[in-house]
């Protein structure tokens, strides 16, 4: 089976060709729009949608070239159908529908979160069920992954996502966008204990997360340590970056520990996915936690943690191999699309799914 995967739900335009037979990844191209959004310190939805429109055709053509196939060799086109910035999602979905219609291919609208949730199985043999810490720019959830299309949400954020906390923290520290890699780089020269930040929810029952208090605490530290010109000493920036990274990781680990207990021996593997899952400190912490809990720890390589087309193609393959027949061409792009529709709404405001 050969599937073209398309991802346009945020600020990465991505296309990939993936097979169910080795080598699975035939091509995997990601075009970052960083330069276009950087002057604004974050993703501007309208700019993102227009950039996807400009670049998607050419990127798909290159992905097909690199895979060395024509469109008639494909079995299906899988595309992120949501959740995400709706303008970009519409661009990707319309492109995928057009290709599917023109070539008579199966069309699969993939939940972006399902793309992340199954991404680990693209390059690793991980059996269901597994416990998943899904941490990205818009989402922060603990899920019991029981099978393809079967997700039980154990916890979610009641305010910001972990990636959002990295991004907003980096902005406060003047480190630019995207915040995760910038914080991780600055933290290497820093001392995580000197200007310690709080760990919201630590030690509380349950598996929900909260990061807005951490962001406020960082803003207060920045205000306290900034000079009269508003600038921070580079050593303070490094220490605060290290402290923020450690605090976010500690919160994620604490909640994951509760989720492991809640699973009560039903899972053998702890998995992480999403952009924040590429963070080295978090990965090391999760590996330790899994070891002491008697679980295996498996994570996609960093390039498959951040948004990419290969995970969307792979989720399409998983769905088709699981008996799915694809989606109708009147599929409507979904700005919100929870993985577990039965989960109660999160108690906080501003929750994305």
> By the criterion CB under 6 A, which residues form the site for ligand KG4?
10, 136-138, 163, 166-167, 178-181, 184, 274-276, 278-279, 306-307
Q: Which does 166 bind (CB under 5 to 8 A by kind): Zn ion, ligand KG4, none?
A: ligand KG4
Give me the sheet containing 12-19, strands edge to edge: 25-32, 12-19, 2-7, 76-82, 106-111
Q: Which does 163 bind (CB under 5 to 8 A by kind): ligand KG4, Zn ion, none?
A: ligand KG4
- CA pair distance 340, 343, nearest whole angstrom: 6
Q: By C-beta, is 10 or 48 nearer to ligand KG4?
A: 10
Q: By C-beta, is 188 or 321 nearer to ligand KG4?
A: 188
Q: By C-beta, is 300 or 326 nearer to ligand KG4?
A: 300
Q: Which does 338 bind (CB under 5 to 8 A by kind): Zn ion, ligand KG4, none?
A: none
Minimum CB separation from ligand KG4 for residue 62, in Å? 20
User: What are the CA-CA distances from residue 46 to residues 7, 8, 12, 87, 325 (Å)?
Assistant: 16, 13, 14, 7, 33
Q: By C-beta, is 106 or 156 nearer to ligand KG4?
A: 156
Tokens representing residue 238 in the block = 């490094």
- CA pair distance 55, 188, nearest whole angstrom: 35
User: What are the CA-CA distances from residue 317 to residues 20, 27, 187 (Å)?
Assistant: 7, 15, 39
Using alpha carbons, select from 205, 166, 200, 209 the residue that is nearest to residue 184: 166
- CA pair distance 217, 197, nearest whole angstrom: 7
Minimum CB separation from ligand KG4 for residue 268, in Å? 25
Q: Which does 187 bind (CB under 5 to 8 A by kind): ligand KG4, Zn ion, none?
A: none
Is 69 exposed, middle or buried (CB count within 10 Å of its CB: 0-12, 13-18, 19+)?
middle
Q: What is the length of the chain?
A: 353
Q: By C-beta, is 136 or 272 nearer to Zn ion?
A: 136
- Please, which residues bridge with residue 132 across strands? 143, 271
Which residue has 């990707």 as its token pair? 92
**Is the preceding peptide bond at 23 cis, omega within 30 degrees of 0?**
yes
Q: Which does 178 bind (CB under 5 to 8 A by kind): ligand KG4, Zn ion, none?
A: ligand KG4
CB contact set of 151 (below 8 Å; sequence gap of 6+): 114, 117, 143, 144, 145, 339, 340
Q: Which does 167 bind (CB under 5 to 8 A by kind): ligand KG4, Zn ion, none?
A: ligand KG4
Q: Which does 82 bind (CB under 5 to 8 A by kind): Zn ion, ligand KG4, none?
A: none
Minimum CB separation from ligand KG4 for residue 109, in Å? 17
Minimum CB separation from ligand KG4 for residue 98, in Å? 24
- Number of helices (H) and strands (E) in the chain: give both, helices first: 12, 10
Whether residue 262 contacts residue 155, with contact meaning beta carbons closer than 8 Å, is answered with: no
Whether residue 221 contacts residue 197, with contact meaning beta carbons closer than 8 Å, is answered with: yes
Minimum CB separation from ligand KG4 for residue 341, in Å? 19
Minimum CB separation from Zn ion for residue 307, in Å? 4
- CA pair distance 347, 159, nearest whole angstrom: 9
Q: Which does 306 bind (CB under 5 to 8 A by kind): ligand KG4, Zn ion, none?
A: ligand KG4
Chain positions contacting Zn ion, by CB under 5 A: 136, 307
Minimum CB separation from ligand KG4 for residue 99, in Å? 23
Q: By C-beta, is 40 or 233 nearer to ligand KG4?
A: 40
Q: By C-beta, is 192 or 248 nearer to Zn ion?
A: 248
Q: By C-beta, is 82 or 181 nearer to ligand KG4?
A: 181
- CA pair distance 291, 44, nearest whole angstrom: 41
Minimum CB separation from Zn ion for residue 183, in Å? 18
Minimum CB separation from ligand KG4 for residue 329, in Å? 25
Q: Which does 300 bind (CB under 5 to 8 A by kind): Zn ion, ligand KG4, none?
A: none
Q: By C-beta, is 243 or 306 nearer to Zn ion?
A: 306
């Amino acid at each position: 089976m050969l599937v073209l995967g398309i991802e346009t739900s945020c600020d990465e335009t991505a296309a990939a060709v993936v097979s169910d037979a080795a080598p699975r990844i035939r091509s995997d191209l990601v075009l970052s729009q960083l330069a276009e959004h950087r002057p604004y310190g974050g993703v501007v939805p309208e700019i993102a949608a227009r950039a996807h429109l400009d670049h998607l055709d050419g990127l798909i053509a290159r992905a097909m070239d690199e895979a060395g196939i024509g469109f008639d060799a494909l079995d299906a086109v899988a595309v992120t159908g949501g959740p995400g910035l709706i303008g970009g999602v519409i661009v990707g979905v319309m492109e995928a529908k057009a290709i599917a219609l023109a070539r008579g291919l199966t069309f699969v609208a993939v939940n972006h979160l399902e793309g992340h949730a199954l991404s680990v199985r693209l390059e690793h043999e991980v059996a269901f069920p597994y416990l998943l810490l899904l941490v990205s720019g818009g989402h922060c959830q603990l899920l019991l992954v029981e099978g393809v299309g079967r997700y039980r949400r154990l916890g979610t954020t009641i305010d910001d996502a972990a990636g959002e906390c990295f991004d907003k923290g980096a902005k406060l520290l003047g480190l630019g966008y995207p915040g995760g890699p910038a914080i991780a780089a600055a933290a290497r020269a820093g001392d995580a204990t000197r200007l310690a930040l709080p760990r919201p929810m630590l030690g509380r029952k349950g598996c929900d997360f909260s990061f807005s208090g951490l962001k406020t605490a960082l803003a207060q530290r920045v205000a306290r340590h900034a000079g009269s010109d508003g600038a921070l000493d580079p050593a303070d920036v490094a220490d605060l970056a290290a402290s923020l990274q450690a605090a976010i990781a500690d919160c994620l680990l604490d909640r994951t520990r509760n989720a492991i207990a809640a699973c009560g021996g039903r899972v053998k593997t702890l998995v992480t996915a999403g952009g924040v899952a590429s963070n080295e400190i978090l990965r090391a912490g999760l590996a330790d936690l899994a070891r002491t809990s008697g679980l295996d720890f498996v994570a996609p390589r960093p390039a498959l943690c951040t948004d990419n087309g290969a995970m969307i193609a792979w989720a399409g393959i998983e769905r088709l191999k699981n008996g799915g027949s694809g989606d109708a061409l009147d599929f409507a792009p979904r700005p919100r699309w929870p993985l577990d529709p039965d989960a109660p709404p999160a108690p906080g405001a501003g929750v994305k799914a």
